Amino acid sequence: MKIGGASTRSIWVEPDGWSVGIFDQRRLPWAIERLVLRSVEDAAVAIADMATRGAPLIGAVAAYGLALGLRADPGDEALAITYDRLLATRPTAVNLRWALDRMRRQVMPLAPALRVAHAYAEAARLCDEDVAMNRAIGVAGLPLIEAIAARKGGAPVNILTHCNAGWLATVDWGTATAPLYLAHDAGLPLHIWVDETRPRNQGALTALELAEHGVPHTYIADNAGGLLMQQGRVDMVIVGTDRVTANGDVCNKIGTYLKALAAKAHDIPFVVALPAGTYDPETATGADVEIEKRSPDEIAFTTGRTLAGDQATIALTASPACNPAFDVTPAALVSAYITNVGLIATAGQLTQLA
């Protein structure tokens, strides 16, 4: 996809052949800045501080982070320390553990001298697979949009999304956005309602992506979605997810559950886009998932760009604040799951992803 008019992925190996580049999403959308990761600690801080975001991309950064750790020390003890350091960065997104487990399985049987090259190659394969899976999600989800477009007889299909499940949250294409991009490229009339997604305002990243791709969209306050549904101005809700449990419960950015409830009340399809790595068959229900509690400062302060063009942080309140990063949407509220193996109508069919 494109940012600043240039085509790129969201993660890459730098020209030196070993350090890893990402976009600093703490600066987006006000400034396009790149970070270079040169150590496992760099990767861990980038994940924990949300310089990099989105479950699939977190997995990719962790995979390369493990490769960076092995570059410093390929021994068994160092591998265990590197794995634990990266795993501890964010508790809710299952792709993190999935990617680290995959990397460890690949390198553990090898002699230490062979591990670094193999780790970089495996991380690159993981990224290529992510791109292919996300495009497959787009192909699987496109018929849903085509069906609505056919019913509307040429009027725009209005789709509401929450948080950023776009290419900036994956390696490319995105999960929830992949069907939108394919529909737009196929000439279907679209309009996307983009939730701001407080407190980190990831909706602004979705808006940036859609603007770069030329997809019509409107940025809205998180609490506007219910009114729009009530007024008949939303045809479908599509979100990504950080984890889907064995029973089909969906762990996603805080506020997702409220959108699902409103969609159910107004008989609007609520669909969830996910690649195989986001399905967690080992966790029975959403009640079993540790919900990440982030710093109250993310609520008490906000960051933006001044009229002069500078980035500034201001205080919103001096009151105590509570900041859960995710919520759980019960499977009963999900109309369908859009996956890289096709459209899945019921939670019981998610075992295809295992």
Radius of gyration of the chain from its Cα atoms, rounded to whole angstroms: 20
pLDDT score, position 6: 87
Q: How far apart are CA 255 and CA 253, in angstroms?
A: 6
Residue 180 to residues 147, 187, 188, 233, Cα–Cα distance (Å): 13, 11, 9, 17
Domain co-membership, 185 together with 119:
no
Domain co-membership, 145 together with 119:
no
Q: Please list the residues that pair with 158 across neighbouring strands.
A: 191
Query: CATH number, domain at 58?
Result: 1.20.120.420
pLDDT score, position 311: 87
* Residue carrying structure tokens 């995979």: 63
Domain co-membership, 240 together with 334:
yes
Q: What is the pLDDT of residues 50-60, one digit of tens each?
A: 999 999 999 99
Query: Which residues make Cβ contacts (< 8 Å) with residue 237, sequence separation at least 6?
Result: 159, 160, 161, 162, 225, 259, 260, 263, 268, 269, 270, 271
- Out of 66, 99, 129, pick the residue that ends a domain: 129
- Out of 60, 95, 129, pick the residue that ends a domain: 129
What does residue 301 show for φ and ψ, rounded to 5 degrees?
A: -130, 155
Q: How far apart are CA 293 and CA 46, in angstroms?
A: 17
Domain residue limits at 328: 138-353
HSE (CB half, 13 Å, CA atoms) of 25? 30
Query: Which residues make Cβ contacts (< 8 Å) with residue 111, sequence separation at least 6?
Result: none
The residues annotated with a catalytic role in the active site are 242
Domain co-membership, 44 together with 176:
no
Domain co-membership, 118 together with 158:
no
Average confidence (pLDDT) per 10 residues, the chain, 354 residues:
91 98 95 96 97 96 98 97 97 91 98 98 98 98 98 96 97 98 98 97 96 97 98 98 97 98 98 96 97 95 89 94 97 98 96 92
Domain co-membership, 239 together with 104:
no
pLDDT score, position 231: 98
Long-range contacts, stretch 350-353, CB < 8 angstroms, 24+ apart = 350/244, 350/246, 350/248, 350/279, 350/281, 351/281, 353/274, 353/276, 353/279, 353/281
- Out of 78, 103, 129, pick the residue that ends a domain: 129
Domain co-membership, 53 together with 202:
no
Domain co-membership, 344 together with 258:
yes
pLDDT score, position 46: 98
| pTM of the model as a whole | 0.95
